[in-house]
A and B are shown apart, each in its own frame.
Chain A
Amino acid sequence: MRQLAIISGKGGCGKTTLTAAFSSLSGNSVLADCDVDASDLPLILKPQVLKTEDCLGLELASIDLKLCTGCGICREICRFGAVLENFTINPYGCEGCAVCTVACPENAVSLMPRVSGQAVSSITRFGPMAHAKLGTGEEASGKLVNLVRKKAVELADRYSCKLVLIDGPPGTGCPVMAAITGTDLVLVLSEPTVSGLHDLKRAIKLTAHFRIPTVACINKYDLNEKKSLEIEAFCREAGIPLLARLPYADITTEAMMKEETVIEYAAHSGDSGAVEFANIVRNLWAELEMRLSETFKKEMCPKALRIRGT
């Protein structure tokens, strides 16, 4: 089994659109939607839920007001300002550090488990899918991402799928690291904007750190050709293969409105722009599949591992 992660330094650059398109092209893959903060893949793929599992986050303090004498020690000692004036706990402030539980002279405070989200196993028209739901104010934790990936691997085993497609979270924090560790290939999506190159560099630093073969593609390349050239030059310099340049097109949104992948949309809309866009995505997918193949790994990987200039 192979794992491919699709990431971007920043949200909103078409990561989910591409992942959805890949899932319709791959035929035999499991999707892992690790963008747990704003999980959008289900909106296109309409998963039928098979099973959900709670993910426990940090615990939450709770004060037994029958025991509490209102001495105020907990309020003073809590570094996160989570104990309110009436000696109840602000759930958005409490980090579950447990300091109040040991500080309270009346033993009035205890920690309660708190559900931070759910990991969901589903089935879609393109195959099985693992995703998550996060509660408001809950941190997109590496823990939940790991749980989603674990579910995806279970699904892959059960439905004998050869590939796990991971829609990564934005940014370069802990959830992203959890989403890419142990994958076979990472596709970094870039945009020619003021922050595009900077975001790309940060993402590549991360994949280099984990020594994962990395490829890139530019979305909306024609929005700013000069910035696109800069990105291309950087990729060449760093030894990151640039696999595709996708044009600035409204068809991604049009497909989304119909709750379809761009591939499905292009197939029936007959719009020439859409067909062209879909073909670029197809070629990109063919490249990715080739790079994920056994032979490629054997022949090329030692070379692909070396990422220069980061």
Chain B
Amino acid sequence: MNIAIASGKGGTGKTTVAVNLALALEDVQLFDCDVEEPNCNLFLGFELEPVEEVTCLVPEINPDKCTLCEKCADFCKYNALAALPNKIMFFPSLCHGCGGCSLVCPAGAIEEKLRSIGRIEKASSQTSLKFLRGILNIGEAMATPVIRSLQRHLDESRPVIFDSPPGTACPVLAVMGCADYCVLVTESTPFGFHDFLLALEATRALNVPVGVVLNRDGLGDSRVEEFCRAEGIPILLRIPNDRMIARLYSEGIPFVKEMPDWKEKFEDMFETIKALVCKSTGVQ
């Protein structure tokens, strides 16, 4: 079972929920899919070792064969190739690796080679928690391929928790798209509610069942609650607006470690999700 933890905007406590949930459970996997800002390990403090280089195919132009016909530069939709009077310039950071330029080149002057855009790392320590994360190299734009590579390391026999990137753009959909259940973390404030609706729209577009974690509960009003009740969206957990929790967060300490009664609450939440997933897929 794959559970994605997501939110319409960063800073709502998505990583906190993912990490605490993973730590509260036995025998689960935690995948940090927020490849632009993989923050889970700030709270876990694991030793990490590289497992894979994520690459993308990019063109390499052989100047001896190139006739400067400019077909490749005309074709490229991302302006990654520019035709100069005496050569074709390539801008790697703009290339999406579509392979189109080598396809259209009439002279066979373009070969493709691999270029690193990020890497996958895993926790080396002998913990019951299997932790992996993807990292996109700074200045690269293609987060989705890194997420896809990360997802290939899934062990289907155990539940997995994805810390999804914030927002509703492509990388988020790549994470939600392979989840059986999506947990949206939000606050019951005008901003929180607005961002929550954006994320909810994304889960609906992908047809993934959703539940809500209300973070900093007690602050704000009941608008998220009322909306969820009306729409039949379960509220799985409430994390109070507690200074102790905020402080532990600022120190990088997962609060289940310091406040053991929370372990049970996260376990309950997990059981609820399990039941809800069974209900929505039909019991096998």
Tell me the A residues contacting B by CB distance below 8 Å.
Answer: 10-13, 16, 37-38, 40, 43-44, 58-59, 77, 79-80, 92, 95-99, 102-103, 134, 136-140, 170-174, 191-196, 223-224, 227, 248, 250, 253, 256-257, 259
Contact = CB atoms under 8 A, between A and B. Distances in A.
Contacts of B97: 79
B8 interface: yes
Nearest to B216: A253
Contacts of B241: 250
Contacts of A13: 11
A140 B77 contact: no
A224 B250 contact: yes
Which of B9, B11, B167, B243 neighbours the largest number of chain A CB atoms within 10 Å of its CB? B167
A10 B198 contact: no
A97 to B, nearest CB: 3
B10 A12 contact: yes
A171 B195 contact: no
B135 to A, nearest CB: 14
Given A59-B77, A97-B98, A97-B100, A137 B202 contact: yes
Given A38-B9, A59-B77, A253-B220, A95 B166 contact: no
Contacts of A10: 10-11, 37
A36 B273 CA distance: 32
B178 to A, nearest CB: 12
Given A37-B168, A97-B77, A250-B219, A43 B191 contact: yes
Contacts of A253: 189, 219-220
Contact of A43 (B8, B37, B190, B201): B190
Given A38-B9, A80-B98, A173-B36, 6 more contacts: A103-B103, A136-B202, A194-B42, A250-B219, A253-B189, A253-B220
B9 A256 contact: no
A138 B169 contact: yes
A192 B249 CA distance: 10
Contact of B96 (A95, A134, A194, A256): A95
Contacts of A170: 9-11, 166
B198 A257 contact: no
Interface string B138-177: 1001000000000000000000000000111110010001
B242 interface: no
Contacts of A171: 10, 36-37
Interface residues of B, number: 50
B29 interface: no
A234 B8 CA distance: 31
Which of A11, A16, A195 neighbours the largest number of chain B CB atoms within 10 Å of its CB? A11
A98 B173 CA distance: 22
A37 B189 contact: no
Contacts of A223: 243, 246-247, 250
B168 A259 contact: no
Nearest to B96: A95
Nearest to B167: A37
A194 B168 CA distance: 25
Given A139-B170, A253-B220, A38 B246 contact: no
A192 B246 CA distance: 11
Nearest to A205: B138
